């Protein structure tokens, strides 16, 4: 079955983290993704469902193959530091002179411009300056990043996908491509939209751990169970809070004034004591039959066998204790080899000169 992006051709210069993830999403949605790697480059993570082609862009023969593929592509994704593409002679303007409908997505942490543009960085740095890291802490505690999900993959990879899809829609109207500056800091800052709006309305405090959604409210937090596991409680709305109150045995008096922060310490103690009286499995069973917005906190290993996720088919087993997430609306298949992709795109492979990555691949 063809995916939603069947017929869309993407050339990816393999980089780190967010760009490969974005291209993985495009590939899983059915796009034809040709991934160009440097000689000897590691390709361990997030390169499934793609056709890999090793090229040395400093070698004329290899560079010619890359340019020929780009001439026939719809999208190019690169995640070099600003200026690298220009030094390689494959800057966006040159590429678009050859292919006017080309969409060039430039994925970086800090963006193509701004004081930090030439600097190195990682997820934790990007989310730090946008305020997204500061909200992930309790009073008096250090900020705690959730691995690199918020910056790299939400603010970066998913933002890349959205930007590419939007550019494809625009090109369908105008026939003209685009150069997109996809910065992780931009996407991450955009993710904080609701918090900025709440803050502007006086509904969000700058003091961490004092708001309804940052573990300030006792009915939106994680609690330890009798067996050392954890349960997540998210009973924000009144009706769900009342069901939670029934489960943990709150008195009529204790249920009054739940929005008053002065009552939160007492509520937290009562909820914590009740949660500690049962095991995580017992609370998981309760969560399946009572709408109180409760869920067991699972490890990555445990998530693979959780009944709801198994029923949805969002984690596909790849080993005895390993899974790979898949898009329910996506298209996952074994991709053809790079040579087959090039032939299908109409790219003629030249006889490679000695020393090129193409020559080494042909000899292997």
Catalytic residue annotation: 122, 152
SS3 label, residue 41: coil
Around Cβ 222, how many Cβ atoms within 10 Å?
13
- Between the CA of residue 166 and those of 127, 191, 299, 346, 353, what are the distances in Å? 24, 18, 35, 27, 40
Residues 15, 79 contacting (CB under 8 angstroms): yes
Distances (CA, A) of 62 to 38, 81, 103, 360: 11, 21, 22, 11
Give the integer Cα–Cα distance in Å for 126 and 109: 7
Q: How far apart are CA 243 and CA 135, in angstroms?
A: 28
Tokens representing 175 are 């026939």
> In whole angstroms, what separates CA 275 from the centre of its chain?
32
CA angle (315, 320, 322) in 5-degree steps:
40
- DSSP assignment letter at 307: H
- Tell me the chain's radius of gyration from C-alpha atoms: 25
Distant-in-sequence contacts of 84-92, Cβ < 8 A, 24+ apart:
88/57, 88/58, 88/63, 89/63, 90/57, 90/63, 90/66, 92/179
CB 192 within 8 A of CB 131: yes
């Amino acid at each position: 079955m063809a995916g939603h992006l069947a017929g869309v051709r993407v050339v990816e210069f393999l980089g780190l983290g967010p760009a490969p993830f974005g291209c993985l999403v495009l590939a899983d949605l059915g796009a034809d993704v040709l991934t160009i790697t440097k000689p000897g480059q590691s390709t361990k993570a997030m390169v499934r469902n793609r056709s890999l082609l090793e090229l040395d862009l400093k070698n004329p023969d290899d560079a010619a193959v890359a340019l020929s593929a780009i001439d026939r592509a719809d999208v190019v994704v690169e995640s070099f530091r600003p200026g690298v593409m220009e030094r390689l002679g494959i800057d966006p303007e040159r590429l678009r002179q050859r292919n006017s409908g080309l969409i060039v997505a430039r994925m970086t942490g800090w963006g193509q411009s701004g004081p930090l543009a030439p600097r190195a960085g990682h997820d934790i740095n990007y989310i730090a300056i946008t305020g997204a890291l500061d909200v992930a802490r309790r009073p008096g505690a250090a900020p705690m990043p959730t691995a690199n999900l918020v910056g790299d993959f939400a603010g970066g990879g998913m933002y890349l996908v959205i930007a590419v899809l939007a550019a494809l829609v625009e090109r369908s109207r105008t026939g003209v491509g685009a150069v997109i500056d996809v910065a992780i800091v931009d996407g991450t800052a955009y993710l904080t939209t609701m918090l900025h709006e709440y803050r502007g309305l006086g509904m969000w405090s700058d003091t961490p751990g004092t708001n309804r959604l940052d573990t300030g409210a006792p009915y939106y937090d994680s609690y330890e169970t009798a067996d050392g596991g954890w349960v997540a409680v998210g009973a924000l709305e009144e009706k769900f809070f009342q069901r939670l109150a029934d489960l943990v045995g709150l008195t009529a008096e204790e249920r009054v004034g739940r929005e008053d922060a002065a009552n939160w310490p007492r509520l937290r103690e009562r909820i914590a004591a009740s949660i500690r009286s049962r095991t995580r499995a017992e609370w998981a069973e309760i969560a399946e039959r009572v709408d109180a917005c409760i869920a067991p906190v699972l490890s990555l290993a445990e998530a693979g066998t959780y009944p709801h996720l198994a029923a949805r088919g969002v984690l596909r087993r790849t080993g005895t204790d390993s899974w790979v997430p898949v898009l329910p609306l996506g298209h996952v298949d074994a991709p053809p080899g790079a040579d087959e992709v090039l032939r299908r795109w109409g790219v003629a492979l030249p006889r490679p000169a000695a020393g090129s990555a193409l020559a080494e691949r042909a000899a292997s």
